[in-house]
Structure 1
Amino acid sequence: MFQAAKRIANITPSNTLAITAKANKMKADGINVISLGAGEPDFPTPERIVRRAYEAMVAGETRYTPSDGLSKLKKVIIQNMMEDQQLRYQEDEIIVTTGAKFALYTLFQVLLNEGDEVIIPAPYWVSYPEQVKLAGGVPVIVNTKEENLYKITKQEVASAITGKTKAIIINSPNNPTGSIYSEEELAEIATICIENNVLIISDDIYEKLVYNGAIFFPIAKLSEEIKKQTIIINSVSKSFAMTGFRIGFAAGKKEIIKKMTVLASHSTSNPTTPAQFAAIQAYEGERVFIETMRANYESRLNIIYEQLLRIPYINCVKPQGAFYLFPNVKETASKCGFATVNDFVHALLEEALVAVIPGSDFGAPDHMRLSIATSLEKLELAIARIKEFVEKRITAY
Structure 2
Amino acid sequence: MSNDALRIALLGCGTVGTAVARRLVDHADEFASRVERPVEITGVAVRDTSKPRPESGLDPSVFTTDAEALVRDADVVVELMGGIEPARSLLLTAMEHGASVVTANKALLGEDGPRLYETAAEHGVDLYYEASVAGAIPLLRPLQVSLAGDSVERIMGIVNGTTNFILDKMDRTGEALDDVLAEAQELGYAEADPTADVEGYDARAKAAILASLAFHTRVAALDVSCEGIMSITADDIRAARKMGCVVKLLAICERVRNGRGDQSLSVRVHPTLVPRSHPLASVHDAFNAVFIESALAGEVMFYGQGAGGDPTASAVLGDLVQAARHKVTGSRGPGESAYADLPILPLSQATTRYAIRIEVPDRPGVLAHVTNVFAGQGVSIESMRQGVRRSDDGLATLTIATHAATDAALARTVDQLRLLDDVSTVTSVLRMEGI
What is the TM-score when the length of structure 1 is the normalising length?
0.23
> Taking CA–CA contacts closer than 8 Å with sequence separation of 6 or more, which of the two structures ends up with the larger relative contact order?
1
Bigger Rg, structure 1 or 2: 2
Whichever structure has more helix as a proportion of its residues is 1
Whichever structure has more strand as a proportion of its residues is 2
